[in-house]
Amino acid sequence: MRFTVAIDGPAAAGKGTISRAVADRFGFAHLDTGALYRAVGVKGGDPVAAARGLTPEDLARDDLRTLEAGQAASRVAVIPEVRQALLDFQRAFARREGGAVLDGRDIGTVICPEAEVKLFVTASPEVRAHRRWLEVGGDEARVLAEVRERDARDMNRADAPLKPAADAVVLDTSEMTIDEAVAAAVRHIETLRG
């Protein structure tokens, strides 16, 4: 059985947490596509060559969840050749037997427009910055500035800008607990899965 769940949204909205929980709940494989871009960004050197030569070891690095890795991911994600190099890998993963959940910025709009379920997980910039600050620490005002900067870059890039797919369900997690957000996503998937 092939069944694809595409979960998009900005940084720290909860899409990764929701995606992992949904994958566990339904027994689907999970891919955090942001990790691909983070790995390319932290590898350094020529980003196109890094994307073409990505290895499982690159995806297992300990530094992929840092603020710096997130900023590097956003910078390399605007390069069309990097996006193309990672496209086939993501599409093959999405259509694997047994079902798949992919989370990122353009899964429902570009990578898997034919996904059976599309969710766009969001929250206010202030809520997302606070969540990220709790995760990585530092100066909370700086984290908020970086969240806003990244949103602007991701939403305004020429290639695959961050936006909900026309047929995506928008899930605003600003006032939700993790359990409530996961439950809402699961209910929507169960409705479409039959």
Annotated binding residues: 9-17
Contact 130, 140 (CB under 8 A): yes
Say how far apart CA 141 and CA 9 lie, in whole Å: 21
pLDDT of the residue at 159: 78
Query: How many distinct helices (H) and strands (E) make up the chain?
Result: 9, 5
pLDDT of residue 118: 98
The pLDDT assigned to 89 comes to 83
Which residue is associated with the tokens 């605007």?
Answer: 78
Q: Residue ranges of the domains in the chain?
A: 4-193
Quick one: pLDDT at residue 139? 93
CA distance 29 to 174: 27
Alpha-carbon span 126 to 114, nearest angstrom: 32
Tokens of residue 184, six digits: 């809402």
* φ, ψ (nearest 5 deg) of residue 8: -115, 165
The CATH code for residues 4-193 is: 3.40.50.300
pLDDT reported for residue 66: 87
Q: How far is CA 20 from CA 32, 98, 134, in A?
A: 9, 15, 20
- pLDDT one digit per residue (tens) for the chain, 194 residues: 799 999 999 989 999 999 999 999 999 999 998 899 999 999 999 999 999 998 878 988 999 988 889 889 989 988 999 989 999 889 988 999 999 999 998 999 999 999 999 999 999 999 999 999 998 889 999 999 999 998 998 898 877 888 999 999 999 999 999 999 999 999 999 998 86
135 Cα distance to chain centroid: 17
Looking at residue 56, its pLDDT comes to: 79
The per-residue pLDDT for 22 is 97
Quote the tokens at residue 149.
């900067």
pLDDT at position 92: 87
Three-state SS at 10: coil
What crossing angle do the helices spanning 140-156 and 67-76 adopt, rounded to 10°? 20
Known binding-site residues for ATP equal 9-17
